[in-house]
Amino acid sequence: MSASRPELTGTHGAVSSTHWLASSTGMAVLERGGTAVDAAVAAGFVLQVVEPHSNGPGGDVAIVVYSPSTGTVRVICGQGPVPQAATIDAFGSLGLTAVPGSGVLPACVPGAFGAWLRLLAEFGTATLASVLEPAIGYATQGYPLLPATARTIELLAPLFRSEWTGSGRTYLQDGAPPPAGCRMRNPTMAGTFERILREAQAASADREAQIEAAHRAFYQGFVAESIDRFLSTTEVLDATGHRHRGLLSAADLAAWRPEVEEPCALAYGDYTVCKPGPWSQGPVFLQQLAILDGVDLPAAGLGSTGYVHTLAEAAKLAFADREAWYGDPRYTQVPMAELLAPAYSARRRALIDGRAADDPQPGTPGDRKSWIPWPEQQPSSPDDPDWLVQLRSGVPTVGPAARRTGAGNTCTVAAVDSTGTMVVAVPSGGWLKSSPVVPGLGFPLGTRAQTMWLVEGHPNSLAPGKRPRTTLSPTVVLRDGAPFLAMGTPGGDQQDQWTLQTFLAVAEFGLDLQAATELPAFHIDHFPQSFAPRASRPGLVAIEQSFDPAVLSGLRDKGHRIDAVPAHSLGKVCAVGVDPVHGFLRAAAGPRGRQAYAVCR
């Protein structure tokens, strides 16, 4: 295929992200002598300002970083836990059988801010001021409002005027929704970042001490106090159509620190693929690879009916295991080694034949059994206001797309430098659709607890202090032990299907990074989505219309239901890497949404 853009190559550094301003910020850091980590952190804070419909300081992030000095890959978990007051009984006492997808009831400890600080402190070299100042600048001086952000504000404007008034003060201009392309500012968020920076600089002249002081200001200082005061005194209208107070407290924030973990990894030929652990959906990428490892994909042909069928069937099997087995490993025993074992993967592979599976079931690793919860869909009234219809969908996307499983936005940033340091992060949550802006802070809280089940005994059941199983899933790939690829994409539950297709295009078919990000994409929607209302479309393959019509016809003949979606509408894969032959750094950004951008020098 012919890509619309070139794969960018260079020697100094490369950045790719879901917003051109974040990518250019990261490259500016590299130009000043910063590392890939420094660049990613600065870009990450800019994303919180310029993509408020997709992420914010009150949200979450998963980060994977490769350090050439140690030759190791590490994962930073920026998924905060649910509050200590969040119990199944607490929600049941409110008459709820599911965690709402919006409001303040589903708020977890905001993990994004602390995780970015931990990445900077442990793996970076830049000062706190140098990584916060670009974000402060855009929040103060303004940035061009994205069409997706403008659409969100417009649809939620009645709610912002009457109920979520903090959001109205932040996002409405003279009471009206601002148009796409206008200069948007968030001086309150800028003030929050500036105060954190002032307190950090007053605490010490030492770089690491300043970063630690910034953590205290957020999780034990004025930010935590503002969150606690708002949630304990304010009843917030949410997806239920009723008003509730939040469960998150200052004590929950004070007790949390981001963790640095070993990755979950799988060898695939010459490659070692590294993902976050089963507190994320990351291992589902590895399970798909393990199932496909015994399949001759090149013989099937890239993009052929057989290729799409095989990947769709492997996804069904891997996602069945995700639904049955994944959860916070501090609270549940996740049989990850067994789920990735060659013998287990071979048994799962043997279940794939020439027909679409109607009822894929989770496996029984070590003869253990688990189960998949299936939610009851709550009917909506045709008289419901549009803003309430939007709130009932827990994804950040608004409009008709929000009611389609697989829709949604998140962010991604990936960076690599001349030393081979490589980092990729997928931030999300705390988006403007999820929850009202906290007074005095300029940002809303996340709603990640909506991904947990209000049932006893499941690996992803709600429990105090437990991390929800997140969809955020960055990927780092080594080749023969050397840095090769770092990538991520927005897309909720579909992330590990779209990035898998990108990886296989590179590893099995030899495409360059840019061409791999532009391939026609597809995904299954068989199982309950992670976000409210937990919709599913069993047996269905959502597939871009840029596929050959004969492929769609062939998939129907194999028993797949088909949802042919517009071309170039699935995902925004962002990738950086190192050319193993010539040693050049390289970068690519998928063109979908006309927003993601890669920079390389």
For residue range 169-178, list pLDDT tens digits in order.
999 999 999 9
Strands of 385-489, DSSP E: 413-417, 422-428, 475-479, 482-488
Q: Where are the domains of the chain?
A: 8-12+21-59+78-259+431-451
Cβ distance 521 to 302 under 8 Å?
no
**251 exposure class (CB count in 10 Å sphere: 0-12, 13-18, 19+):** middle
Given a cut of 60, whether residue 505 has pLDDT beyond it is yes
pLDDT grade for 408, boundaries at 50, 70 and 90: low
CA distance 13 to 358: 47
Q: Whose structure tokens read 């509408």?
A: 569
**pLDDT > 70: what percent of the chain?**
98
Answer whether residue 438 shows pLDDT above 80: yes
Span 284-298, average pLDDT: 97
Distance CA(306)–CA(582), nearest Å, equals 34
* Span 52-90, pLDDT tens digits: 999 999 999 999 999 999 999 999 999 999 999 999 999
pLDDT tens profile 140-175: 999 999 999 999 999 999 999 999 999 999 999 999
Q: Is the pLDDT of residue 292 over 80?
A: yes
Q: Identify the CA nearest to 130 among candidates 211, 227, 222, 209.
A: 211
Question: With 70 as the cut, is the pLDDT of residue 32 above it?
Answer: yes
Total residues belonging to the chain: 601
pLDDT in tens, 223-268: 999 999 999 999 999 999 999 999 999 999 999 999 999 999 999 9
Question: Are β-strands 561-565 and 540-544 bridged in parallel, bridged antiparallel, or unpaired?
Answer: parallel
Quick one: pLDDT at residue 35? 98
Q: What confidence score (pLDDT) does residue 1 get? A: 57
Angle formed at CA 469 by CA 464 and CA 471, multiple of 5 degrees = 145
Task: Indicate the pLDDT class of residue 399, thresholds 50, 70 and 90.
Answer: low
pLDDT tier for residue 385 given thresholds of 50, 70 and 90:
confident
C-alpha dihedral sign at 281, 282, 283, 285: positive
Tokens representing 588? Answer: 């690519």
pLDDT at 382 over 90: no
* Whole-number average pLDDT of the chain: 96
The rounded distance, in Å, linking the Cα atoms of 444 and 142 is 19
Q: What residues pair up with 477 in beta bridges, in sequence order?
A: 273, 485
pLDDT top residue among 507 and 376: 507
Mean local confidence (pLDDT), 331-349:
98
The answer, yes or no, to whether residue 405 has pLDDT greater than 50, is no
